[in-house]
Structure 1
Amino acid sequence: MSFGQAPTIVVLKEGTDTSQGRGQIISNINACLAIQDTLKTTLGPLGSDILIVNSSGKSIISNDGATILKLLDIVHPAAKILVDISRSQDSEVGDGTTTVTILAAEFLKESKNFIEEGVSSHIISKAFRKATALAINKINQLSIKIDKVNDNSEFYNTLIKLAKTAMSSKIVSNNSEFFTKLAVDSVLSLDQNDLNLNLIGIKKVPGGSIDHSLFIKGVAFKKTFSYAGFEQQPKKILNPKILSLNIELELKAEKDNAEVRVQSTADYQAIVDAEWEIIFNKLKLIEDSGANIVLSKLPIGDLATQYFADRNIFCAGRVASEDLDRTIMAVGGSIQSSVSDIDPAAHLGNCDLFEEIQLGNERYNIFTGCHNAKTCTLILRGGAEQVIEEVERSLHDAIMIVKRTIQNNEIVAGGGAIEMEISKYLRNYSKKIAGKQQLIIAAYAKALEIIPRQLCENAGFDGTDLLNKLRMAHATGETWAGIDFNTESVSDNMKKFIWEPSLIKINALNSACEAASLILSVDETVKNQESQSPNASQAQAMMASRGRGIPR
């Protein structure tokens, strides 16, 4: 009895492209290395900026890793993992987005040789996780704790130095002293128990120099659309009472297809009078509440504007929802959807001073001396829109660094110092163990050297020479030896005040290791060609990657 050949079972639709095995892993690694090539020139204080033009023709100039990766149209599913880790670094710490992407790609580059030689990706990932745990433990041992209780001025200076290091690679580095003070003052103006960054408002006003930017300890928003009578309203009020509304204060035309049947002109006049009576009753109730500033998310019409002007009350309609919410958090009170039961004690907010000032071509309404919640507003100036946007991104990084330092007050030296010290430590550790893990941990240690090497290359220094000097310095016990950009040599970066929060390095190593392990675990990609859309974002959704589980 003989059996014929088993029939071929078709599981996937015809035209489906499948790739698997060692070649697929190497292909994924190469895609990530292409991302690294794009980003690595932006690393460090002397890194370059990248000009990105989107599909609508808008140009963005930036060297922020998360911003660049978000704007790049990346289709490869494995390379998109690097976009995700840069975003996680940006949301968790705020800085180090380029570092984490470069490190993840370098870990993959070092593992590529092992994959080609047939080493299982499970073994590589296991060794990477062990090396990361050792590195983080070493950072915790080396990090220096800042005492923020006994000496507030010293702690303030420390925050300034940390923010300055974060801004050293940004487009505003020449004005770093000015902007670091803005960043530190804005975070310290918040309630130190929760440090809610939503209470820091950032407004952009084109025109003027970037050092014309303002720090306002309070709430500020652009003057809203206003009707005739607005200029007769007060532009400065001491100790105002502020009422926030979510109702329209204007006469509205009847809806389409509305029908009102009247028998005489007197009936028609009664309807018109009733409409006016309704709005005048609303305005009278607002006046009786004692409020002298009225803000509303919805329009405040010309009738109400003139009514308030005659009674020395300031009003602003069509206030942006986020501006009104932040104002309420700062001055107190609550948004009212009716004026029939206003309780002045519970529903009105207050502050020390309200004023309207001219900034460039715009007028801004400013509330200062807010007692309900500590808040501030940064008004950014600049000659070009791209410059103002990059200033905003730079300030975001510095503000996040200051916040994280207040919450986790431990620092390490930057400029490649901590990476070289961990690299030395892991290289020495690898010599004490046997098997494949010895080689992989040594490769992990070598990968960490990409940070000081790339810093040298971006600055135009001799990377090989300076790396040799760094290895020698760390071998002789100089823990904080790093790249000194002023002397084009090696120096003690802790004494040079090139500081970074240890949280940046810990989060970067964790994220880079996880991303590298995830990419190494994927050994098959299934892509449905027929369902693929020309739109890149839809094309990405049609790609499915299958990974093998990695023991942790």
Structure 2
Amino acid sequence: MYGNQQPLFVLAPEAERLHGNQTQIDSIDAANAVSSIIKTTLGPNSMLKLMLDPMGGTVITNDGNAILREIDVTHPAAKALIELSRTQDDEVGDGTTSVVLLASSILSSTKKYLVEKIHPTYLVQGYYLALSEILSYLDSIATKLDTNDSNVMLSILKASLQTKFSEQWSNKISTLALRACKLILVELSNTKKEIDIKRYIRIEKIVGGLLEDSQVIDGLVMEKDVTHSRMARKIVDPKILLLDCPLEYKKGESMTNIEISNADDFEKILEQEEKEIKKMTQFIIKSGANLVITEKGVSDLAAHYLMKANVTVIRRAKKTEQNRLVKITGAKIINRCEEITQASLGIKCHLFEVKKIDDSYWTFLTKCEDPQACSVILRGGSKDTLNEVERNLHDALCVARCLFLDPRIVAGGGATEIELSCHLDRLASKYSDSTTWGIQAIAKALQIIPLILLQNSGGPVYTGLSKLITLHQEGSNNKNFGVCGFTGDIVNTYEKQIYDTVTSKIQIIKSAVECCAMIIRVDDILSGLSAQNKDKNSGISDLAV
């Protein structure tokens, strides 16, 4: 306001604004609140969390991402940490709890500098300098593996499952994950490898039986039955046809009216429909196919004609299942029956079989030549158990994929974090400018992983942490000493086969540092539209993508 002029209001009176240093302090407190929820889920002696959804369903797990995605938060910093865990799960599969704890610890270590009014830009410069040094140092301490040695690969996968609910079945889950990844591994021409878990590994959960009954199928399994009860449910060396068109009379896309003046007209319509369906089935029969799998529907009349010609039909398969079938059978997806040729048939799958398991019928396509796609059947006593085993299997699959793509490991049990912390302390002593504060904050924050492992294992927390830091400061010969999550003792993690993948460690540290750099640079949070404006914008927000 200048002189006698009226004050100028830029924001609506209903809007809430958090400005300045208090914004960063509140963001740090929100991040700490999120990390406190999953703090006890780290390590092999971790606790489980039970969550109830609005529909009355329950989720019991100690997986960080599975817990956080069930939580509804409003603060932007808390949402950023939850997104961090989701990204970690998508990219690596392992370390979803560690990345949130590390990000929260970095923010907590930075809080004292923000309270002292140190500008966030200086801290961010130190963050990225420390990150660059961490990445180069990880390369120097990593150990390369031979991915052709199954025993070594299984030991790494078992180590990643020691913190999971399914730790007692780690041998079985590790074997399933390793075999599934080997089946879909593709060697590219430029010496690179491709493993697409989401597209080419299908996990089917069947309640009943024992977990030991779980198996990897070198082909496809789907919960489908044949469309006609008299069709063959077992075919050796099937000739498979994949369709993306319906085997029924084409219906009008909108309301269609037909005027009939006499009974003969109705008979002609039925004859025309029968003629068209018979024409479709003749194209299939002439091609020599004896197994048809289509994404669309199949009329009773078409099923009857094909059954008479000894052709088995599966209908309404998912698009993802069709893509896997292309991989395992060598067939091509046909969009019109007129385009069917013998060259479009798949002959790489040598056994089709429909089995009844409990009250459901399951279609098995097995004994495939170089399938490049597979299915994993999980058995268990309850849905909750199967859901948790599925999450653990997904983590093991991601760890196996990371090992094939980057076969390097580092010491687990917090050993790598303490080694990096000591290295950053030595690095910070070489600088005398403002970047030192950011380096020191990350060096301090990295100690949170072994600290929480000691807490959750019941070991001497601060005594054990001090002993661990002393060992790492004495020299590089002690770089593999970390925390045994079962007993809380300080041990050589390589001797105890406690490992982490380099890919997971890099993703954890990079994601945490980048997220914290973004959060502390926010100095203004605006929120709160008026109820009238919310109503006006509701239609727009609903349509926004």
TM-score normalized by the length of structure 1? 0.90
Structure 1 residues 119 and 252, CA gap change in structure 2 (3 angstroms): closer
Q: Give the Cα separation in 1 of the matches to 2:51 and 2:110.
A: 31
Aligned counterparts, 1:118-133, within 5 A: 118-133=117-132
Match of 2:449 in 1: 451
Are residues 1:382 and 2:364 paired?
no
Q: Which moved more, 1:360-369 or 1:288-297?
A: 360-369
Match of 1:177 in 2: 171
Match of 1:492 in 2: 492
Q: Give the Cα separation in 1 of the matches to 2:267 and 2:305.
A: 22
Match of 2:221 in 1: 220
Are residues 1:517 and 2:517 paired?
yes
Q: Tell me the secondary structure at the aligned position of residue 523 of structure 2.
A: strand
Offset at residue 349 of structure 1 (A): 5.0
Offset at residue 405 of structure 1 (A): 1.1
Structure 1 residues 4 and 46, CA gap change in structure 2 (3 angstroms): same
Q: Tell me the secondary structure at the aligned position of residue 442 of structure 2.
A: helix
Q: Tell me the secondary structure at the aligned position of residue 244 of structure 1.
A: strand
Offset at residue 249 of structure 1 (A): 2.5
Counterpart selection for 1:290 from 288, 291, 294: 288
Counterpart selection for 2:185 from 188, 191, 195: 191
Aligned counterparts, 1:380-419, within 5 A: 380-419=378-417
Match of 1:94 in 2: 93
Offset at residue 373 of structure 1 (A): 4.4
**Native 8 Å contact 2:124 2:438 kept in 1:** no
Which amino acid counterpart does residue 506 of structure 1 have in structure 2? Answer: I
Offset at residue 97 of structure 1 (A): 1.2
Offset at residue 200 of structure 1 (A): 0.8
Offset at residue 525 of structure 1 (A): 0.7
**Native 8 Å contact 1:205 1:362 kept in 2:** no
Q: Give the Cα separation in 2 of the matches to 1:129 and 1:341.
A: 58
Q: Give the Cα separation in 2 of the matches to 1:529 and 1:320.
A: 43
Offset at residue 473 of structure 1 (A): 2.0
Count how many residue pairs are aligned between Structure 1 and Structure 2: 527
Q: Give the Cα separation in 1 of the matches to 2:268 and 2:443.
A: 86
Q: Which moved more, 1:342-351 or 1:406-415?
A: 342-351
**Native 8 Å contact 1:332 1:372 kept in 2:** no
Q: Give the Cα separation in 1 of the matches to 2:122 and 2:302.
A: 73
Counterpart selection for 2:426 from 418, 421, 428: 428
**Native 8 Å contact 1:484 1:490 kept in 2:** yes
Offset at residue 33 of structure 1 (A): 0.5
Q: Which moved more, 1:188-197 or 1:368-377?
A: 368-377
Q: Give the Cα separation in 2 of the matches to 1:532 and 1:408.
A: 54
Counterpart selection for 1:463 from 436, 449, 461: 461
Structure 1 residues 534 and 212, CA gap change in structure 2 (3 angstroms): farther
Q: Give the Cα separation in 1 of the matches to 2:524 and 2:500.
A: 39
**Native 8 Å contact 1:208 1:360 kept in 2:** no
Which amino acid counterpart does residue 404 of structure 1 have in structure 2? Answer: C
Match of 2:190 in 1: none
Are residues 1:476 and 2:485 paired?
no
Q: Tell me the secondary structure at the aligned position of residue 412 of structure 1.
A: strand
**Native 8 Å contact 1:44 1:455 kept in 2:** yes
Q: Which runs of 5+ in 2 are unaligned?
A: 188-193
Q: Tell me the secondary structure at the aligned position of residue 488 of structure 1.
A: coil
Aligned counterparts, 1:230-245, within 5 A: 230=229, 232-245=230-243
Match of 1:367 in 2: 365
Q: Give the Cα separation in 1 of the matches to 2:490 and 2:108.
A: 27
Q: Give the Cα separation in 1 of the matches to 2:87 and 2:268.
A: 63
Which amino acid counterpart does residue 167 of structure 2 have in structure 1? Answer: S
**Native 8 Å contact 1:191 1:373 kept in 2:** no
Match of 1:547 in 2: none
Structure 1 residues 132 and 374, CA gap change in structure 2 (3 angstroms): same
Structure 1 residues 266 and 30, CA gap change in structure 2 (3 angstroms): closer
| CA distances 1:73-116 after superposition (whole Å, capped 9, x unpaired) | 01111211112222222222121111111000000001111111
Offset at residue 493 of structure 1 (A): 0.7
Offset at residue 348 of structure 1 (A): 4.3
**Native 8 Å contact 2:126 2:437 kept in 1:** no
Q: Give the Cα separation in 2 of the matches to 1:350 and 1:339.
A: 22
**Native 8 Å contact 1:52 1:71 kept in 2:** yes
**Native 8 Å contact 2:211 2:378 kept in 1:** yes
Q: Tell me the secondary structure at the aligned position of residue 79 of structure 1.
A: helix
Aligned counterparts, 1:339-350, within 5 A: 339-350=337-348
Q: Tell me the secondary structure at the aligned position of residue 77 of structure 2.
A: coil
**Native 8 Å contact 2:457 2:487 kept in 1:** no
Q: Tell me the secondary structure at the aligned position of residue 496 of structure 1.
A: coil
Which amino acid counterpart does residue 283 of structure 2 have in structure 1? Answer: L
Structure 1 residues 96 and 25, CA gap change in structure 2 (3 angstroms): same
Which amino acid counterpart does residue 491 of structure 1 have in structure 2? Answer: V
Q: Tell me the secondary structure at the aligned position of residue 38 of structure 2.
A: helix
Which amino acid counterpart does residue 61 of structure 1 have in structure 2? Answer: I
Match of 2:313 in 1: 315
| CA distances 1:284-305 after superposition (whole Å, capped 9, x unpaired) | 2211110010111122233333
Which amino acid counterpart does residue 39 of structure 1 have in structure 2? Answer: I
| CA distances 1:134-185 after superposition (whole Å, capped 9, x unpaired) | 122111110011234xxx2x2x222212221222111111101100100011
Which amino acid counterpart does residue 525 of structure 2 have in structure 1? Answer: T
Match of 2:209 in 1: 208
Structure 1 residues 253 and 116, CA gap change in structure 2 (3 angstroms): closer
Offset at residue 257 of structure 1 (A): 5.5
Q: Tell me the secondary structure at the aligned position of residue 340 of structure 1.
A: helix
| CA distances 1:301-353 after superposition (whole Å, capped 9, x unpaired) | 33333333333322111222221221123212222232223111134454121
Q: Give the Cα separation in 2 of the matches to 1:79 and 1:244.
A: 47
Which amino acid counterpart does residue 316 of structure 1 have in structure 2? Answer: I
Match of 1:546 in 2: none
Q: Which runs of 5+ in 1 are unaligned?
A: 543-552
Q: Which moved more, 1:10-19 or 1:329-338?
A: 329-338
Which amino acid counterpart does residue 522 of structure 1 have in structure 2? Answer: V
Offset at residue 118 of structure 1 (A): 1.6
Aligned counterparts, 1:1-80, within 5 A: 4-80=3-79
**Native 8 Å contact 2:31 2:77 kept in 1:** yes
Counterpart selection for 2:324 from 326, 343, 356: 326
| CA distances 1:32-58 after superposition (whole Å, capped 9, x unpaired) | 000010111111111112112122222
Q: Give the Cα separation in 2 of the matches to 1:238 and 1:109.
A: 64
Which amino acid counterpart does residue 200 of structure 1 have in structure 2? Answer: I
Q: Give the Cα separation in 2 of the matches to 1:425 and 1:456.
A: 22
Q: Which moved more, 1:511-520 or 1:199-208?
A: 199-208
Match of 1:356 in 2: 354
Q: Give the Cα separation in 2 of the matches to 1:140 and 1:534.
A: 51
**Native 8 Å contact 2:123 2:437 kept in 1:** no
**Native 8 Å contact 1:89 1:96 kept in 2:** yes
Structure 1 residues 486 and 69, CA gap change in structure 2 (3 angstroms): closer
Match of 2:191 in 1: none
Q: Tell me the secondary structure at the aligned position of residue 203 of structure 2.
A: strand
Which amino acid counterpart does residue 448 of structure 1 have in structure 2? Answer: L
Q: Give the Cα separation in 2 of the matches to 1:69 and 1:484.
A: 26
| CA distances 1:396-442 after superposition (whole Å, capped 9, x unpaired) | 11111111111111110111110111111112222333244445423
Match of 1:106 in 2: 105
**Native 8 Å contact 1:25 1:519 kept in 2:** yes
RMSD: 2.4
